[in-house]
Amino acid sequence: METVKVDEKGRVLLPASIRDRAGIHPGDVYFIATEDSEIRLAKAVNPFDALAEHAIEEYTAGKTRSLRDYAEDKGFDLDAE
């Protein structure tokens, strides 16, 4: 556990060792909440980034298929006018 000091504007500087262990980088966005006398931080993750990462993993693993194949399986004709 490390000791930090709150400045006159209410700011706290997180020590580099804490930032490194927690994977905190400049520009990251966090939710902050209090529970009794504790302060908790939780990284705010853009849901679109998480979905894109998942989609890339699925594609790389060969678990995706083309829209044409999907439509054919469902009985849709993409060439119909």
Q: Mind listing the pLDDT tens digit for each residue in 9-68? A: 999 999 999 999 999 999 999 999 999 999 999 999 888 988 999 999 999 999 999 999
Q: Model-level pTM? A: 0.55
Specify the amino acid at residue 71.
A
Which fold does the domain 1-44 belong to in CATH? Answer: Pemi-like Protein 1; Chain: D (2.10.260)
Q: pLDDT-based confidence at 81, cuts 50/70/90?
A: confident
Q: pLDDT-based confidence at 8, cuts 50/70/90?
A: very high
Please state, in angstroms and rounded to a whole number, the distance separating the CA atoms of residues 16 and 24.
9
Going from N- to C-terminal start, the domains of the chain cover 1-44, 46-81
Q: In Å, what is the CA distance from 28 to each residue of 19, 38, 43, 49?
A: 11, 21, 7, 13
